Amino acid sequence: MSAKAASVRRAYLYKGVGETVGVVTLDGRPERLMIEWPDDDPLDAEGVHGVARVRKIEKAFSSAFVQLPGGRDLILPLRPDMPALVEGGVVEIEIKTPSRADKAGVARFVAEGQGEPRVLAQGPSIEERLRQIVKAGSPTTGEKALLAVEEAEGDALATVFSLPGGGDIAVEPTRALTAIDVDLGARDGADSKRAARLANMAAINVAARVLRLKGLAGIIIFDLVGRGHDAQALTTAARNAFAPDNPGVGIGPISKFGTLEMIVPRRAPPILDRLLTRDGDAEPRYVARRLARALEREGRADPGGRLTAHCAPAVAEAFQAELDQGVAERLGRRFVVEAAPAWPVERFEVSAR
């Protein structure tokens, strides 16, 4: 019997109007999605060293809130060996966990600060992060990269994911944890226990990829299918599948209710913070970037044509504020973007005339 082929990771880098996007695929499926926009707070990214202002000290919780130049807060745990902080003063910090839409990020104290809040040392760029992960030359760029980006965004927005051999998982984050429901579906096999074991093993592997893609971490709970689980085999599968997320992965025992609980360290905000609003609707700024991509595609297909785009008013506003000039520099001033008041945010159309 031949040994199982090693997993293959590939990197893709797309630089569009108002966005830089990186994708890592694992055996052809999206595994990581990284998005940067020009107005991102430069101090709110993993690995950044900078100076932040102490906004509030919470001695009861042994922590302080420090404020970034863009106005966002980070939690700074206080240690006995640190100098006494003063509200309104500044500290030099390193970002351990960037901010999320609903929670502050976490910083590490480096030294007492001087001057105004600012960046002292940038974190790795998307291209540098891609190279660190894949370790195989330069990322693929151009149209292939854009196709990889759009496939990754589609997967990141999905909830249900098929399992090899049948069945599926549903990945659903809450404020406290991420729940993963395993469904056996129409998986073939007369031996139901073996079918359940194979489905659970596949679910762990698919979920590890999907969680990295979505940027979900913290407490992860698998609702496994079947009964009488092989705890050792499933724990080993989880340890292997989540190895890229180390250090910091913890795996608990399988409960009497058939759930497997894990903890995965947070190192990046959920990617849905980019793609969706807090209410779960399409983010107009993200849709505006998809519109810019569509204008570029249509412009390349029809080099001399005039282009007309229709979209929701919020998308048209975001496009005008952030992307209009950039698209004009690439295509020339041969397009117009018109707001369609009755359209939902996610809908847009581009046509040539």
pLDDT of 1 reads 38
pLDDT of 185 reads 79
CATH architecture of residue range(s) 49-121: Beta Barrel (2.40)
Reported as a single tens digit per residue, the pLDDT across 304-352 is: 899 999 999 999 999 999 999 999 999 999 999 999 999 999 999 999 8
pLDDT of 298 reads 95
Q: What is the mean pLDDT of residues 237-244?
A: 96
CATH class of the 158-275 domain in this structure: alpha beta
Tell whether the model's pLDDT for residue 271 goes beyond 80.
yes
The rounded mean pLDDT for the chain is 92
Q: CB of 212 within 8 A of CB of 25?
A: no
Please report, for the chain, the start and end positions of each structural domain, with discontinuous segments joined by +: 49-121, 158-275, 283-352
Q: CB of 308 within 8 A of CB of 353?
A: yes
Beta bridge partners, 107, equal 95
Query: What is the percent of the chain with per-residue pLDDT over 70, rounded to a whole number?
Result: 97
pLDDT of 191 reads 77
Contact partners, residue 350, CB within 8 Å, separation at least 6: 291, 294, 295, 297, 298, 307, 308, 309
Q: What is the mean pLDDT of residues 114-127?
A: 89
Reported as a single tens digit per residue, the pLDDT across 35-44 is: 999 988 777 7
* DSSP code per residue over 287-304: HHHHHHHHHHHHHHHSTT
In the block, residue with structure tokens 């913290």 = 218
Tell whether the model's pLDDT for residue 190 goes beyond 80.
no
pLDDT of 19 reads 97
Instruction: Decide: helix, strand or coil at residue 211.
Output: helix
Pairwise CA distance, residues 227 & 232, whole Å = 14
Pairwise CA distance, residues 337 & 282, whole Å = 19
Pairwise CA distance, residues 169 & 111, whole Å = 45
In which band, very low, low, confident or very high, does the pLDDT at 189 lie, cut at 50, 70 and 90? low
| Beta sheet of 178-183, edge-to-edge order | 160-162, 168-173, 178-183, 218-223, 259-264, 250-254
